[in-house]
Structure 1
Amino acid sequence: MNYVFLGMALLLAAAAGYWVFGRGTPRPAGTWAMGALLGAFALAFASYAPLVEDAVETLVPNVARLLSNSASLAAATAVVAVILQLNLDPSEARRRIRVRLVLLAVAVVGMASLFTYEEMTHRSPRVYAVYLLLYVSYLGFAVVDFMLQAVRQSKSTRRGSVRVGLRMAAAGCVFALIYIAYKTTRLIDLGLGLGLIDSTSECSTLVGRCAFSVTAPALAVLLICLGLTLPAVAYPISQARRRRWEARSFEELGGLWQDLSSAMPHIVLEPADAEDMSADSDFLLQRRVIEISDGILTLRPYRSRNVQEAAEGVFGAGTVRDAAAVEAAVVKAALRSLETGRFADDVAPPSAEAASRKDLRADTEWLLLVADAYTNRVGRVAGDGRPEPVGA
């Protein structure tokens, strides 16, 4: 048990340190609340460890329970503060957080007072029942408050990692409610003197009665922490993947862009001497897509309907990849007509697939298919306008 709880405490403390000190400036909204959340959970897990519990209780008997319960309430408050700062404007979030901090202070001071009185009265079950009532009431309020806001926010967010993370955190709240239900049952047991739960035995495993008193809150902490940190972890990964895709797309569009820019130098927006793909891949890709699109638009008077219809007969028109091959054939023939100065007798309409693309990524994906077909599928266009497939 020492390894489990101390290991989790060290992991959460390291995460808290990274969140507060290792994220650079300016820090995003909720940074300090998230650091407080992770730090409070780290303290709670450390207090669960028998080694730490024995050490602190040599100074003050039974104080480990008060420390872990107070840390749990502080973490629950920090969880709510994080979601409030994500969901509300700053002034409203601060107002609501202040109210919850006042409630937290009242709960912790009340618990500490009851703990002191309980120790002075030799652990009176009735006093402990009131202590539990205060603890469970505030914890239940905070858990339900967070769960409702997390579920509501997960339905409206566009980022997949945020949506998954919030739903994971909401699942953690379910385990927290199981723990609260166990504590409520124990509260009723103590208040009525039923003796249903043995409060003298200590937990040495994660099953049995300890499944409710230790395993459930541990799973709740794990899921909530993972859920709230998932977007921060997923964001740099997604950004790295995006940059790789942009750099690869930039290179794959190179062949088509080279032919278009050689025939129509005016489509190039600015000189591209020292292009640092790792630093500005988004800008460079966007510029290349715009230049290719401008080149295809400039070729419009040279786009032959005969070539388009012949290409449809060769490559088909049933899939997007087929449509891209047809477009590549039309562009290749139009470039040849541009060189000879011969306009098309019957101008081919723009590709319907190209017209349906509404953003940079969609435009890029379409032009990647066209560029691939231009290089690897469409060979020479014959004098009758019929394109020859590569390898035919």
Structure 2
Amino acid sequence: MACLLAVAAGYWVLGRGTPRPTGTWAMGALLGSFAVAFASYAPLVADGLEAIVPHVARLLSNCASLAAATSVLAISFQLNLDPVEARRRIRLRLALFAASAIGMTLLFAYEYMTHRSEQVFALYLLLFVSYLGFAVVDFLLQAVRQSRTTRRSSVRLGLRMAALGCVFALVYVAYKLTHVVSAGLNLHLVPEHSQCTSLVAVPCVFSVTCPALAVLLICLGLTLPAVVYPLSQARRRRWEVASFDALGPLWRDLSNAVPEIVLSPVDSDRGSSADADFMLQRRVIEISDGILALTPYRCRTVQRTAQSLTAADTEEAAAAVEATVVKAALAASKAGQFADEVAPPSAEAASRKDLRGETEWLLLVAAAYARVGDTGQLETVGA
């Protein structure tokens, strides 16, 4: 875990390129702090350090945990607040972290020199737990509040995962508070020098499992949007290219009948993945303009006949009716025959207010258009 976190920290700090996204350094500090904390648990590292100074691995782990908590807050502030307010809050948290880390180091040194005084150890734990609990609650409130207002599902899910990680962190804080009371009052509520033989055994479930789950969920929650975004973008581009192609037959018939709808010449009949959004948007606009230009040829009788043949009141049925009207209007336009009674535009088309909604509607119309006979009559509608 420590090695994986160290590699992830290196990627965030060194592999992000320029300009660096907001929160890059804070995220690198978060992952690096967690890497140090987990490394301090490893027997090889802990034994090597404690051969020089007994129990110093505990101080290293605790300071790294506080640094990670501070980094989480810094990321949250940088992403959710304006730069001036974010810097003000980060400076305050850094000052609190520095005071806590220095205080813990002084108490640790005094404890070492006095041969492990229980009261000094209790003060050490109190400093550690106080700042950690403050940071966890601070981030938990921010994560819950932001998850209710964000629009991106990956960010919302990531914040909720991080909030769940905070819950496990609070369990760990409660365990440490119990340790403070036990050490300060000599109650011996927590077994001393116990070895962890299982991640679900007491007290290991509180001292190791809960912080490990907190680290995992917080790291996954904060990095999830960065991982999901390129995947969602690639999926969106594939959909745009496929939609561009699917609208091709309808667009060609409309552009042949009404050449002026074409906004500008194109070198290729297929939208590349790089400019698929632009090509698709233009194709949707041109098809919509073509359908609008055919208004004088849209026959109301054809529309009523198609509606009588539909089997259900669905989007697919409405698209089939529209495709039939468009097909008949193209034939009438070619013959120069105006409609005696003009068919009104589809209500379903008017309800689509954005590009994706309009594209999805035209995809249904294009699919139905391919099934309409050359005479403009439905071959199968709603079957």
TM-score by length of 2: 0.97
Q: Give the structure 2 partner of residue 267 of structure 1.
A: 261
Task: Provide the residue aligned with 2:238 in structure 1.
Answer: 244
Give matches, 1:276-291, under 5 Å.
277-291=272-286
Structure 2: distance between partners of 1:387 and 1:237:
40
Q: Could you tell me whether the CA contact under 8 Å between 1:379 and 1:389 is conserved in 2? A: no
Q: Secondary structure at the match of 1:278?
A: coil
Residue aligning to 2:362: 367
2:163–2:218 CA contact under 8 A, matched in 1? yes
Corresponding residue of 1:154: 147
1:259, distance to aligned residue in structure 2 (A): 0.6
In structure 1, stretches of 5+ residues that fail to align are: 1-7
Counterpart of 1:389 in structure 2 is 380
Q: What secondary structure sits across from 2:374 in the alignment? A: strand
> What is the CA–CA distance in structure 2 between the aligned matches of 1:176 and 1:256, rounded to whole Å?
57
Task: Confirm or deny: 8 A CA contact 1:380 1:387 kept in the other structure.
Answer: no
Question: Which one-letter code corresponds to 1:351 in the other structure?
Answer: S
For the aligned residue pairs, the C-alpha RMSD in angstroms reads 1.4
How many residues end up aligned between the 2 structures? 380
For residue 197 of structure 1, report the CA deviation from its aligned partner: 1.4
* 8 A Cα contact 1:325 1:373, kept in partner: yes
Q: Is the 8 A contact 2:244 2:271 kept in 1?
A: no
How far is 1:51 from its partner? 1.5
The counterpart of 1:229, out of the listed 223, 227, 230, is 223
Question: 1:329–1:381: 8 Å Cα contact kept in structure 2?
Answer: no
Aligned to 1:344: 339
After TM superposition, the structure 1 stretch with the greater mean CA deviation from structure 2, 266-275 or 56-65, is: 266-275
**AA of the residue aligned to 1:324:** A
3-state DSSP of counterpart to 2:339: coil
Note the 1:1-392 alignment, pairs <5 A: 8-208=1-201, 209-274=203-268, 277-316=272-311, 318-375=313-370, 377-381=371-375, 386-389=377-380
- Other structure's SS at 1:271 match: coil
Q: After superposition, what is the alpha-carbon deviation per residue over 1:205-254, rounded to whole angstroms, capped at 9, x for unaligned?
A: 31221000000000000000000100001100100100000010000001
In structure 1, how many angstroms separate the alpha carbons of the residues matched to 2:252 and 2:320? 18
After superposition, the C-alpha distances for 1:171-229 in whole angstroms (9 at most, x for unaligned) are: 00000000000000010001111112112223243122100000000000000000010
Q: Per-residue deviation at 1:277?
A: 1.1
Please tell me whether the aligned partners of residues 178 and 189 of structure 2 are also in contact (alpha carbons under 8 angstroms).
no
* 1:116 alignment partner, SS class: helix
| Conserved 8 A contact 1:80-1:146 | yes
Q: Report the more deviating stretch, 10-19 or 181-190.
A: 10-19
The alignment partner of 2:226 has SS state of: helix
Contact 1:166–1:228 (8 Å) recurs in 2: yes
**Aligned 8 A contact 1:316 1:323 in 2:** no
1:22 Cα deviation after fit? 2.1
C-alpha displacement at 1:16, in angstroms?
Answer: 1.3
Distance 1:174 1:252 in 2: 48
Q: Which amino acid in structure 2 is aligned with residue 268 of structure 1?
A: V
**Alignment deviations for residues 46-84 of structure 1 (CA, whole Å, 9 cap, x no partner):** 111112111111222211000000000000000011111
Letter in structure 1 aligned against 2:149: S
Give the whole-Å Cα distance in 1 for the aligned partners of 2:197 and 2:312: 68
Matched to 1:352, the amino acid is A
Structure-1-length-normalised TM-score: 0.95
Structure 2: runs of 5+ lacking an equivalent: none
Identity %: 70
The residue type paired with residue 39 of structure 2 is: A
**Structure 1 stretches (4+) deviating beyond 4 angstroms?**
none
Aligned-partner residue type, residue 302 of structure 2: V
Cα distance between partner residues in 2 of 1:25 and 1:284:
29
Q: Which deviates more, 260-269 or 324-333?
A: 260-269
